[in-house]
């Protein structure tokens, strides 16, 4: 499973594609959720951009998006503390929080 709730926090397993033509939440891909970002995978730019993008998508400050695993890999585990909104590709997760 590519997501789970830890109390009010959402934990996502992401497959990140850097250097894409646009930022996009693509959808489930096997046991991860595919995300495209425009930043290159150089000097932490992709991770910083991913955190900024996810913070905006979930309506939280950047400090509430934490990279838990996969700093140098395309497969990453991210914690979003108390997400305020769920972007359309992830809207069905609200029912799974119970």
CATH label of the domain that carries residue 65: 3.30.1200.10
Q: Domains in the chain: how many in total?
A: 1
Phi and psi, residue 72, nearest 5°: -110, 10
CA-atom Rg of the chain in angstroms: 12
Tokens in use for 65?
């998006």
For 92, residues 6+ apart whose C-beta sits below 8 A from its C-beta are none
Q: With respect to residue 96, please indicate whether it lies within any of the assigned structural domains.
A: no
Q: With respect to residue 76, please indicate whether it lies within any of the assigned structural domains.
A: yes
Q: With respect to residue 92, please indicate whether it lies within any of the assigned structural domains.
A: no
Q: With respect to residue 50, please indicate whether it lies within any of the assigned structural domains.
A: yes
pLDDT at 98: 42
pLDDT classification of 33: cutoffs 50, 70, 90 = very high
Q: Using H for helix, E for strand and C for coil, what is the string for the chain?
A: CCEEEECCEEEEEEEEECCCCCCEEEEEECCEEEEECCCCCCCCHHHHHHHHHHHHHHCCCHHHEEEEECCCCCEEEEEECCCCCCCHHHHHHHHHHC
Q: Does the model's pTM come out above 0.85? A: yes
Q: With respect to residue 46, please indicate whether it lies within any of the assigned structural domains.
A: yes
Q: With respect to residue 37, please indicate whether it lies within any of the assigned structural domains.
A: yes
């Amino acid at each position: 499973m590519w997501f789970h709730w830890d109390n009010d926090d959402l934990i996502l397993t992401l497959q990140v594609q850097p250097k894409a033509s646009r930022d996009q939440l693509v959808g489930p891909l096997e046991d991860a959720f595919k995300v495209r970002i425009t930043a290159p995978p150089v000097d932490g730019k992709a991770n910083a951009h991913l955190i900024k993008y996810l913070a905006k998508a979930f309506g939280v400050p950047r400090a509430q998006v934490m990279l838990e695993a996969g700093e140098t890999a395309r497969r990453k585990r991210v914690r979003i503390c108390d997400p305020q909104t769920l972007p359309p590709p992830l809207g069905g997760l609200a029912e799974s929080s119970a």
